[in-house]
Amino acid sequence: MRRALFVLVAGTIVSGVAAFAASEPAARVTLTRLDCGTVAANDLNQFSDTDAYVGKSKNLASSCYLIRHGDDLMIWDTGLPAAIKGKPIDPKLPMDATVTTTLVEQLAQLNIKPEQIGRVGISHFHFDHIGQASSFPGATLLIGAADWNELSAKTPDKRLNPDAVRHWISGGGKVEPVQGDRDVFGDGSVRMIDLPGHTPGHHGLMVKLKNKGDVLLTGDQAHFTENYESEGVPSFNTDRADTLASFKRFKDMAKNANATVIIQHEPADIAKLPAFPQAAD
């Protein structure tokens, strides 16, 4: 009798769990690459603290990403400032940049209004990754805690420009400083990955897609393919040892997940995702 009752109760629980799972399907996740400008590294040697690129130059992409998680929308990195749209690049400067089209303009092509963006995830505090954050004042800002502490300091480092996130610094918007990794939606589909070294609070992003599989976005763990393969450390990184440790973690994660690695500044990696306005899923 007890055994029969146990089987009945267990069967009821299992059926209930199955019914709940059937009524709560996993959210569909998609990933769309957005054009956030071009960076002309006229002095590429800035990206090496061992003088690996003396006399070399390279045009780098500035890539941002739209993540759809069911009905929720998230932007990963916000690129260069919209104010430099159409600005000619000066070849005499060690580094210069321009923007062709803004994030808001591209989202409009997808019938998305800025107020529909619920989260803005930032890989790190450099100007070419926070430049258009202010276009999404209603979004929750997700940023590495150590980077946030520096941006929001009473007297920030003179090399930083907090203006793009002033809305959140002043308390006008919700900010969630991220310590370590962060499961953004609570189901493992989108994870901010702690990769300090480029900046104190630098993060990459893992996106799990049903058809394409796992995609790992570098942030600025590396800036171009050769830099990634050689694990080169830019002269402006905040911590060399942390950078190398983060390279190992990133590459181990990519290997274990058999992930598609996308170097956000590498022009050749743009083709690893469908061309805008299409999305990977």
In a domain, 12, yes or no: no
pLDDT exceeds 90 at position 18:
no
Confidence of residue 26 (pLDDT cuts 50, 70, 90): confident
Q: What is the pTM of this model?
A: 0.90
Confidence of residue 5 (pLDDT cuts 50, 70, 90): very low
- The domain that holds 40 is classified in CATH as 3.60.15.10
pLDDT exceeds 90 at position 79:
yes
Neighbours of 23 (CB within 10 A): 7
- Which residues touch 187 (CB under 8 Å, ≥6 apart)? 26, 27
Q: What's the total number of domains in the chain? A: 1
In a domain, 277, yes or no: no
Q: Residue-wise over 38-66: b if at least 16 C-beta within 10 A, else e? A: bbbbbebbebbeeeebeeeebebbbbbbb
pLDDT exceeds 50 at position 50:
yes
Neighbours of 135 (CB within 10 A): 18
Handedness of CA 223, 228, 231, 232 (dihedral sign): negative
- Percent of the chain scoring above 70 in pLDDT: 91
In a domain, 21, yes or no: no
Q: Is the peptide bond before 277 cis (omega within 30 degrees of 0)?
A: yes
- DSSP-derived secondary structure letter, 269: G
pLDDT exceeds 60 at position 21:
no
* pLDDT-wise least confident of 3-12, 88-97, 183-192, 246-255: 3-12
In a domain, 188, yes or no: yes
Structural domain of 122: 27-272
In a domain, 66, yes or no: yes
Outline where the chain has alpha helix (H).
2-23, 103-109, 127-130, 145-151, 166-169, 225-230, 240-257
pLDDT tens by residue, 201-231: 999 999 999 999 999 999 999 999 999 999 9
Confidence of residue 14 (pLDDT cuts 50, 70, 90): very low
